[in-house]
Structure 1
Amino acid sequence: MTKAKRPKLPAPLIGQWTGEFHATQWAGDIVIDLEMRSDHTVGSAMLFPREGLNAPVVVGRIDEIYLGADGAFTTILLQPTHPKNPTQLVPPHQVQEVFPPDIRIATKAQARIRWNGTNMEVEWNSDIGMQGSARLTRNDPNRPSDILSTRMSWDAFKRHVSRLETRKFIFRGQQKPWRLRSHFHRTNRSDLFRYTFDDLATLHRHLSARTKHIFNRADSDEFGALLHLAQHHGFPTPLIDWTYSPYVAAFFAFRHIPIAASKKRNAGYIRIFQFDQAQWRENTPQIPITAPVRPHFSLMEFLAIENERLIPQQALSALTNVDDVESYIKFVEQTWKHQYVYAIDIPVKERETVMNELALMGITAGSLFPGLDGACEELRERLFAQ
């Protein structure tokens, strides 16, 4: 007798969904992150009480979603977070001592999910007889960037950055005008709760066997340094790399473009993002955790522990639990009526000139990537870039 195959859920269900929920006792914001693991869908739901409402943040773990005739169905295992430590999950009775007696906390809910490409409706019944519903939306994170760009020559770019206030802005160089997304989200992962509590424990164990320093996961500075080190060695993280130097950003934008490609008639443009980090830090809270916490985009400067690249690259990172970063930044821009992010496109055909001038400034692979890899890449650029 052959085992029946589990019906696969349509791909549009996967990703990050955000919206509002209303339940028997309370209401607020909800984030649902869903992803594929092997042949089934897993994820998490995070419920944040409306501002001014004295209720806990509740996290729901989704270990399986089943496709039915009238939508999809799942069991959500619920657990509140500690009132003073949002990263610590605790038994319901511990938080019930803090909140009003009429706030009851369920441990399990049966939910039905209906969705189309951009909208989702969720209805649930909990094990303590409470009901709730939520309406959520999901943007396509793979769509083209919405940020209006300014095209300028390399010489014009140099004049532009020379007039900027020192260290008010940070920069990010990209080979193409891709949408801003973290490495974690570009892998089609979404569930940062599972990533934070499961995957990072595995990362910590493996890297601890290969580093002289044993990183303390309980210390946000040290754990941030571990994440940054892992990111620089290819491990997907919810970080987006930035630099205080517009010229280092230009190096990363042009770095992997062959000279032959830059000489094509329609070679296109590279992109450099310019971000007003000073005003962003002043207007928005900078949060050093990914889950469970409300959506955020936080600028972090990590300790350079066993990471020789951080200082020469003048690097810092944005830590984010948001998949569609550009829409989030746009929302904040509309709220504060201030433009934070700008996009500058420079012709790819200027690649040879740019790399030669950057080398004269001392910005090369050898200087930015201390070690054999960087030295060999610098020599390859100098001797074989044809």
Structure 2
Amino acid sequence: MRSQACVFENGNNRCIYVLQFRTTDKRTSQQLWLPIQFQRISDTTEVTQAELNQAFPNVNFPDRANIVLKLTNKGLRVTANTYQGTQQIGVIRALLRSGSADKRSKIAADKKVRTWDKFKLMVGRLPPDRYIFRGQPVCNRLRTSFHRTSRRDLNQFLSIDIPQLHAIVTSKTNHYFDLRDNIQNAAFWNLLQHHGYPTPLIAPNGLKISSSYILSLT
């Protein structure tokens, strides 16, 4: 089973800690020694050790970790001991619980709201900018088309899907999307979603800015 673990550090808006690993079997207990990679939050490109030392000259960053995974009834218990060479830097412990995105929504639909006018009246009474509405025929939780697929790997989406799609799409359009520009990158994703390709974008209804898009992180 191939997996990727990411750790976001408080106060560090430049990079994340990334561990990639593959288990050889389905045992409920696993122990792995893994190299630690650092990636930029903005575009998931790798941050080198030299760049880290320049940005944080007095900080020791780990280069590997000993990961212990144990599947229990409450969830997946994770213990990560981080090292720089042979020196232990720190330890991280977490309990990862199974998500509820596949379950039915806890919010009950108002069966009296059957027309567009009644819907607008209901929405107008709610606090502004707190709710997102998305039309769908079933009472499922709010999820993107990307997260409903079996291949919901953001790392592969960014490193494989987007470059391949960019090469194909730009050969058929008059406009060249510069993916290094955040606005053009978002426009390219928007174009993909508009034509039915699963993306981690949600197009919300009921907001003041009808063309706004939200990146779903769940």
The TM-score, its normalising length taken from structure 2, stands at 0.78
Matching of residues 359-374 of structure 1 within 5 Å: none
Task: Report the counterpart of residue 187 of structure 1 in structure 2.
Answer: 149
Q: Which amino acid aligns with 1:48?
A: F
Pick from 159, 163, 183: which aligns with 1:221? 183
Measure how far apart 1:198 and its partner are.
2.7
Aligned pair partner of 2:199 in 206, 223, 237: 237
Give the letter for the 1:321 counterpart: L
Cα deviation, residue 68, structure 1: 6.8
Cα deviation 1:323-378 (Å, max 9, x = unaligned): xxxxxxxxxxxxxxxxxxxxxxxxxxxxxxxxxxxxxxxxxxxxxxxxxxxxxxxx
Shift of residue 153, structure 1, vs aligned partner: 4.4
Q: Does 1:115 align with 2:71?
A: yes
Residues 304-337 of structure 1: CA deviation (Å, up to 9, x unaligned): xxxxxxxxxx544321121xxxxxxxxxxxxxxx
Q: Deviations over 1:247-300 (max 9, x none)?
A: xxxxxxxxxxxxxxxxxxxxxxxxxxxxxx56xxxxxxxxxxxxxxxxxxxxxx
Secondary structure of 2:55's aligned partner: coil
The one-letter code matched in structure 1 to 2:37 is Q
Picking from 306, 313, 317, the partner of 2:213 is 317
- Identify the residue that residue 341 of structure 1 maps to in structure 2: none
Aligned twin of 1:66: 24
State whether residues 81 and 92 of structure 2, in contact with CA within 8 Å, keep that contact through their aligned partners in structure 1.
no
Q: Which AA in structure 2 matches 1:94?
A: E
Identity of aligned residues (%): 23
Aligned letter for 1:147? I
Matching residue's letter, 2:22: E
2:54 maps to amino acid: E
Residues in 1 aligned to 2:136 and 2:3: alpha-carbon distance in whole angstroms = 30
Once the 2 structures are TM-superposed, how far is the Cα of residue 117 of structure 1 from its aligned partner?
A: 5.6
CA deviation profile, 1:158-190 (whole Å, cap 9, x unmatched): 14515738xx57642111112111111100334
CA contact (8 A) 1:43 1:194 kept: no
Cα separation, 1, equivalents of 2:121 and 2:100: 36
Which of 111, 132, 148 aligns to 2:108? It is 148
Aligned positions, number: 209
Determine helix, strand or coil for the equivalent of 1:97. helix
What TM-score, normalized by structure 1, do the two folds share?
Answer: 0.47
Note closer, same or farther for the CA distance 1:221–1:71 as it changes in structure 2 (3 Å cut).
Answer: same
Does the 8 Å contact 1:82/1:88 carry over to 2? Answer: yes
Amino acid at match of 1:104: N
Which has a greater percent of strand? 1
TM-aligned CA distance change 1:109 to 1:194, over 3 Å: farther
* 1:50/1:162 CA distance change after superposition, 3 Å: closer
| Correspondent of 2:55 among 88, 95, 98 | 98
Q: CA RMSD in A?
A: 3.1
| Letter of the structure 1 residue corresponding to residue 79 of structure 2 | E
- SS of equivalent to 2:110: strand
Alignment of 1:1-386 (within 5 A): 41-51=1-11, 57-67=15-25, 71-81=29-39, 87-99=44-56, 101=58, 103-116=59-72, 118-128=74-84, 129-130=87-88, 131-135=90-94, 136-155=96-115, 157-162=116-121, 164=124, 171-244=133-206, 277=207, 314-322=210-218
The 1:43–1:117 alpha-carbon spacing in structure 2 relative to 1, beyond 3 Å, is same
Which structure ranks higher in relative contact order (CA pairs < 8 Å, sequence separation ≥ 6)? 1
SS in 2 for 1:113: strand
Partner SS state of residue 156, structure 2 = helix
SS of the equivalent of 1:202 reads helix
- Distance in 2 between residues matched to 1:70 and 1:174, nearest whole Å: 37
Equivalent position amino acid for 1:90 in 2: V
Q: Secondary structure at the match of 2:23?
A: strand
Is contact 1:215-1:222 (8 Å) kept? Answer: yes
Q: Which residue of 2 aligns with 1:271?
A: none
Q: Residues 183-212 of structure 1: CA distance to partner in whole angstroms, max 9, x if unpaired? A: 111003343133222321222122222222
Paired AA for residue 191 in structure 2? L
Q: What are the Cα deviations for residues 220-248 of structure 1, in whole angstroms up to 9, with x where unaligned?
A: 1111111111112221110122235xxxx
Q: Please tell me the residue identity of whatever aligns with 2:61.
A: I
Task: Tell me the secondary structure at the aligned position of residue 59 of structure 1.
Answer: strand
Amino acid at match of 2:165: L
Q: Cα gap change, 1:175/1:55 in structure 2, threshold over 3 Å: closer, same or farther?
A: closer
